[in-house]
Amino acid sequence: MVGRGLEQALDDYLVLLAQSGSQEAFARLVARWTPKLLAFAARTLGTTEAAKDVVQDTWESAVRGLMRLDDPARFGPWLYTIASRKCADALRSKYRRTRNDAAIDAPNETVDSNPDDALDLAAALKRLPPEQRVAVSLFFGEGMSIAEIAAATGAPSGTVKSRLFAARNALRASFGEVK
């Protein structure tokens, strides 16, 4: 735990320096946080290329909004808030394109109907609605608490719990487990 305290203190210090205009401090924040954001976005989106785009968009928003961050200790959750919203936007956009393409190509067929995907976790996660996928990724992938996910997504804690519950049930159904 001491290591995390030092990591937090370093992040706090870098945030304060970046807010005062230090480009070097911001570059160090980017170097420290990009691997975590890439892992989160890749788990959420299911593709590394899309994750790179989301992380780039996240940093662009962070540059514009860093001065509005009142508490440097909240930098991590604040950054995940931006990233989770960018992931949700990317997923919504992808699903709209997929639905439109599917409607044009085969109006009577359903998307993701490949039976070989039944035991594929990545495929099962891709079938979750964007809000559930973000919640699952933050909870299981990043180890965030319900309260932290609520803060990051802007959803009430009860909604986060409902999303996780529904996602677990959907994943169980994907793998043939009956509750």
Domain ranges for the chain: 2-174
**pTM of the complete model beyond 0.75:** no
The structure tokens listed for 162 are 């409902």
Query: What is the fold of 2-174?
Result: Rna Polymerase Sigma Factor; Chain: A (1.10.1740)
Residue 136 has pLDDT above 80, yes or no: yes
For 108, other C-beta atoms within 10 Å of its C-beta total: 5
Look at residue 124 in the predicted model and tell me its pLDDT.
Answer: 82
What values do phi and psi take at 102, rounded to 5? -65, -40
- Residue 79 parent element (H or E): helix 75-105
More confident residue, 91 or 178: 91
Look at residue 104 in the predicted model and tell me its pLDDT.
Answer: 54
Give residue 119's pLDDT band: very low, low, confident or very high (50, 70, 90): low
